[in-house]
């Protein structure tokens, strides 16, 4: 069935991507609103057409989509830029208009997706079934809870915890506002229809963006770049770019890759609403054009070059989060992806040491470390209150990364 897997995948203990008994299509009471809103959206065919109705749809779609793409995704999931507490709340509130549950629930599951992308632990990989990855995982009772780690990170913000627990207020306020301003036509056009459209636009990134499109980067998952999906999601369709360098506030890495979400964020940065927007570094952009691998390694290790001098040019570099290697480069070879153990085992068969950058789940460097073939390590930057003992190289690196 290709890289995306079949439309449906039934329980099969020999299939690592098969869904368990608690991951089947949900028809319970919690799913009823999802189906009813789809039916209600058909109401647009039973009211007179007016351009004002289209305008109501576009306003709701743009506001809610910005809340998801700029807020739930690029800010709360990846912390790709900074903002103040007030606008942080505005982003979370706009995201609730889409009826995609709470901000901490959404961002927590999205971080899990990046941690396990297209492995059996990825809860919405198309390899588990295309329709499951598109929408049905969203309805599964098993995944209704918010990640404890995500709650802990934002525990200082009671307003975010409130929105996360009471996200249903978003679609209720949206529909009530549209009904008050434009009657039934606006309720259908500016309430129910944009909610359904925003659901499926977002869901295409979990499903279609992993099976349809082109691949600039050889990531360890099946992510693709797709201009059509980028158009309907205001820039999220450059998904292969995003999976290669997820901490960027800009998913369209090049000028011809339109990214409306980034354009709005950039404009907001001019007036001080947001700041410190992360963009792809030179080595990411150069990697798309296939630069000399020695240049890639040098660009990846400027701090190491100052410590080790020219000898660093002979040292491979590993970028990874927890137990997943995201990128490996050295002067003579370059590979992408794989489990940490497999990648390091392959490198230590040919190299005496490996240079590693350990990232947290927000894309920030936690450690710079050099690990030698005997498992010892030289830590150039680390938290002083974290003690990591010596041992096998994989055990050392897993301890450093928290995986």
Cα–Cα distance for residue pair 371/356, rounded to 1 Å: 8
Considering the domain architecture, whether residues 223 and 366 belong to the same structural domain is answered as no
Print the domain residue range for 308: 290-401
The share of the chain scoring above pLDDT 90, in percent, equals 44
Considering the domain architecture, whether residues 202 and 226 belong to the same structural domain is answered as yes
CB atoms within 10 A of CB 12: 10
DSSP run (H or E) holding 202? helix 193-206
How much is the pTM?
0.70
Residue 362 CB burial class (10 angstroms; 0-12, 13-18, ≥19): middle
Q: Are 257 and 294 in contact (CB under 8 A)?
A: no
Considering the domain architecture, whether residues 68 and 117 belong to the same structural domain is answered as yes
Considering the domain architecture, whether residues 258 and 343 belong to the same structural domain is answered as no
Cα–Cα distance for residue pair 238/244, rounded to 1 Å: 10
Report the number of distinct structural domains present in the chain.
2
Cα–Cα distance for residue pair 3/223, rounded to 1 Å: 10
CA angle 284, 285, 289 (to 5 degrees): 110
Let me know if residue 200 belongs to a domain: yes
Let me know if residue 1 belongs to a domain: no
Let me know if residue 365 belongs to a domain: yes
Q: What is the pLDDT of residue 9?
A: 39
Considering the domain architecture, whether residues 114 and 246 belong to the same structural domain is answered as yes
Higher pLDDT, 164 or 122: 164
Nearest one of 298, 293, 300 to 310, comparing CA atoms: 298
- pLDDT, tens only, 299-320: 333 333 333 332 333 444 444 4
Last residue of a domain, one of 224, 247, 275: 275
Kind of pairing between the strands at 353-359 and 365-372: antiparallel
Average pLDDT over residues 42-49: 96
Let me know if residue 183 belongs to a domain: yes
């Amino acid at each position: 069935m290709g890289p995306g897997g079949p439309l449906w995948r039934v329980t099969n203990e020999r299939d690592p991507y098969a869904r368990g008994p608690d991951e089947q299509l949900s028809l319970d009471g919690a799913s009823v609103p999802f189906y009813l809103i789809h039916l209600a959206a058909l109401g647009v065919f039973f009211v007179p057409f007016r351009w004002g109705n289209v305008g109501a749809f576009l306003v709701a779609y743009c506001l809610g989509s910005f809340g998801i793409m700029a807020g739930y995704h690029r800010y709360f999931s990846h912390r790709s830029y900074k903002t103040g507490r007030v606008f942080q709340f505005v982003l979370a509130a706009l995201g609730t208009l889409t009826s995609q549950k709470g901000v901490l629930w959404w961002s927590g599951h999205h971080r899990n997706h990046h941690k396990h992308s297209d492995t059996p632990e990825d809860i919405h990989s198309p390899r588990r079934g295309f329709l499951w990855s598109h929408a049905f995982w969203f309805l599964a009772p098993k995944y209704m809870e918010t990640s404890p780690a995500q709650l802990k990170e934002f525990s200082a913000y009671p307003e975010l915890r409130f929105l996360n627990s009471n996200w249903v207020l978003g679609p209720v306020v949206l529909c009530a506002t549209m009904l008050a301003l434009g009657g039934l036509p606006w309720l259908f056009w500016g309430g129910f229809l944009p909610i359904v459209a925003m659901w499926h636009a977002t869901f295409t990134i979990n499903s279609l963006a992993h099976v349809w499109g082109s691949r600039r980067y050889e990531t360890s998952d099946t992510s693709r770049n797709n201009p059509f999906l980028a158009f309907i999601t205001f820039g999220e369709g450059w998904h292969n770019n995003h999976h290669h360098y997820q901490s960027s506030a800009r998913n369209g890495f090049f000028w011809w890759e339109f990214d409306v979400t980034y354009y709005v964020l950039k404009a907001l940065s001019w007036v001080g609403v947001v700041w410190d927007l992360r963009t792809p570094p030179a080595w990411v952009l150069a990697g798309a054009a296939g630069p000399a691998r020695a240049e890639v390694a040098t660009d990846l290790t400027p701090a190491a070059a100052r410590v080790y001098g020219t000898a660093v040019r002979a040292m491979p570099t590993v970028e990874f989060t927890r137990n997943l290697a995201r990128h490996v480069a050295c002067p003579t070879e370059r590979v992408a992806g794989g489990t940490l153990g497999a990648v390091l085992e392959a490198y230590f068969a040919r190299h005496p040491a490996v240079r590693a950058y350990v990232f947290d789940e927000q894309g920030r460097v936690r450690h710079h470390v050099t690990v030698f073939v005997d498992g010892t390590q030289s830590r150039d930057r680390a938290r002083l209150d974290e003690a990591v003992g010596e041992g096998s190289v994989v055990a050392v690196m897993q301890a450093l990364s928290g995986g």
